[in-house]
A and B are shown apart, each in its own frame.
Chain A
Amino acid sequence: MTTSGLIAETYRQELMLRRGRAAHAGTLVVVALAVLWPLVLSARWQTAGVFALIAAIAAMGLHITTGLAGQVSLGHAAFVAIGVYSAVWMGVDRGWAWWIWLPASGLVAAIVGLFVGPFALRLRGLYLAVVTVALLSVTQYVWGVWPDLTGGFNGRSAQRWDIRGHSLFSDLDVFGLITLNGNQLFWFVCLAILAVIAIAARNLQRTRPGRGWAAIRDRDLAAAVAGVPITQAKVSAFVVGAFFGGVAGALLAAFQSYVVPEQFGLELSVRYIAIIVIGGLGSVAGVVVGSFFVTILPLIITSLTGLLPFISDRPSTAGGFTVDLVAAFVYGLAIVVVLVFEPRGLMGVWERFRDVWRTWPWSR
């Protein structure tokens, strides 16, 4: 007997992350794409891909805080920045190894999240959103007046990522079969970290903490009545979200190799929100899809300059249809269009297509 994959028939199937033959085939396709991306595409796309992976890790944190627990945070960039500067301090100023600064930056961000979380207990909706803006501007201020840590306005070099004496930026010969360059190495390392974090997020989502978060998102008072420990759940949503953001910050610093405080402002926060909204709120896969969409959008617009001659690929201070501005416009438009016409985001489009396809011929 073949299973459709639509209905779980045994408890073992209930526990599986993906089930059904088609889902496993889909997993294989995704894995194949993930392996081929850095090997096939050019350096620009490799770089963009790594940035997309890091953005996905950061957005996975916001996915927990906002997508699952419904606590609107416009301050996620602050957690990422805290991760960045923790990693820079530990990696450069202290000279500690990567296996210390990588998890520890997440922990530092999580500790800050622990202090922000309680605000969510008393405030909701807009008031909470503005409090998270306050977090953002306070951290921005701290970076500005602490030039020993951040290099001030000019920024500073970030930590190097050496694994057993081998810098991740230099070429690596893998068993004499293939030589991987820096971008490719970063891609595979970030991919592995994203995979761990995505599976963790998925498992959190479908077990007790995730159900508590979903209940709070829908109505926190009703959740409390139903026995969800509100305090613990709201604070943990911020702590876990901040942890993922901090880890992403450490990776971002290592990959950029130079960081300026200015880049961690409200625009970055909005970018993370855009990622989870465009991908599809509440979906782990949507976070990854959204990150890639938002990150490679400028590259897509650039490659369209041949077809659309009015778009200029040269930046200019006088404005006009430059690639950056057109990309920014399309990105804003994508947010609006998704929310007005397809609130479930790109994953919603995919699920609608998938449901038609796998229940065929009964779907029509």
Chain B
Amino acid sequence: MVKLLQLVFQGLSLGSVYSLIALGFVIVFKGSGVFNFAHGEFVMGGAYIVVVGSGQLPWGVAIVVSCAVLVVTALVCERFLLRPMLGRPLFAVIMVTLGLSIMARAVAAMLWGVEERGNAAAPIGRNVVRIEGVALPWVGIWTIIVAAGVMAVLYWFFQHTHYGLAMRATAVHQEAAAAQGIDIRRMFALSWAIAGVLAVAGGIFLGAFPRQVGPSMGFVALAALPAIIIGGFDSLPGAIVGGFAVGLMQVVGSGYLGDFGGGRFHEVLPYLVMLAVLAVRPFGLFGSRDVERV
């Protein structure tokens, strides 16, 4: 029982990281119709800037700097590379973001080398709270608190502000939104900016103890892909549910399936569950069904 609770806690904390990353993918996809495969590299970049920056600056300032850099990068990518792709086939748009991710990895390696750079959430430390034999690392507790806080802010933003309403309207129907006087281009930019901030938040905790900030983080973030599919590509609650589901599956799976399938079965478990979900609901658990017209 203690083992199960322990694993569930760790699964929830990993799951909240995946949820943050998945939200970044989904908000950009809903907001501007681009599926941004470079989001994993945004996450990596955010984490690197925090780690490297906190060498010279206080940790909090480094986070602000990282958010600023990421938001500007996201806006530049959106404005100059992805907006010209409006109306082009999905495949072409995906490829642009894949090209971006290759460039981003090369730039990161040029700037920061290929070795691991340590803990992005160092000030939280490695201390552990023990409750009834279950060890709760502070990093994990903070991950869950921050993720819950970010999600609450996003909920408030989308439900209770003018900009949130405008973004939701744009996601539903771009032309109708434009006819209501919404500046669609600004909504595109806004969704990318939000994704940039989410990438920093996800990156800090993806690069937090016991994990490290390193050049392979961009690929780790791809573990959020099954989360997005399980939840449905265009659903924010879906991204959150999917993120937690994948985190729990990976951690609990690694705890209980150690003797099964070579001890690495938990790595593919989310993908297998994703395939099962797709077999039943081809648009994910919370996604909206496409309406087909010839």
Contacts and interface: CB of A to CB of B under 8 A. Distances in A.
Interface of A: 66, 70, 72, 119, 122-123, 125-127, 129-131, 133-134, 137-138, 141, 144-146, 219, 221-222, 225, 266, 270, 273-274, 277, 316-322, 325-326, 328-329, 331-336, 339-340, 343
A125 B282 CA distance: 11
Contact of A332 (B99, B115, B267, B274): B99
Contact of B84 (A123, A317, A340): A340
Contact of A123 (B103, B219, B282): B282
B283 interface: yes
A219 B103 CA distance: 32
B96 A339 contact: yes
A125 B226 contact: no
B114 A317 contact: yes
B94 A332 contact: no
A48 B172 CA distance: 49
Interface string B270-286: 01101100110011100
B115 A335 contact: no
A340 B278 contact: no
Interface stretch (B56-64, B104-112, B160-168, B190-198): B104-112
A107 B179 CA distance: 55
16 contacts: A126-B233, A127-B284, A134-B272, A134-B274, A141-B262, A144-B264, A274-B98, A274-B99, A319-B111, A325-B109, A328-B106, A329-B106, A331-B102, A335-B95, A340-B81, A340-B85
| Interface SS of chain B | helix
Contacts of A277: 92, 95
B222 interface: yes
Main secondary structure of the interface of A (DSSP, over half): helix
Nearest to B103: A332
Contacts, number: 138
A339 B113 contact: no
Contacts of A137: 267-268, 271
Contact of A319 (B99, B102, B113): B113
Given A144-B264, A332-B99, A335-B98, A319 B91 contact: no
A57 to B, nearest CB: 21
Contact of A133 (B88, B90, B103, B225): B225
A138 B264 CA distance: 11
B1 interface: no
Contact of A131 (B103, B111, B222, B275): B275
B283 A127 contact: yes
A332 B102 contact: yes
A266 B37 CA distance: 12
A273 B226 contact: no
Given A138-B271, A335-B95, A339-B99, 6 more contacts: A122-B278, A122-B282, A141-B262, A317-B114, A321-B110, A329-B107
Interface string B153-179: 000000000000000000000000000
B219 A266 contact: yes
B101 A332 contact: yes
Nearest to B90: A125
B229 A127 contact: yes
Contacts of A146: 262
B100 interface: yes
Contacts of A219: 294
A332 B292 CA distance: 34
Nearest to A122: B282
A219 B98 CA distance: 24
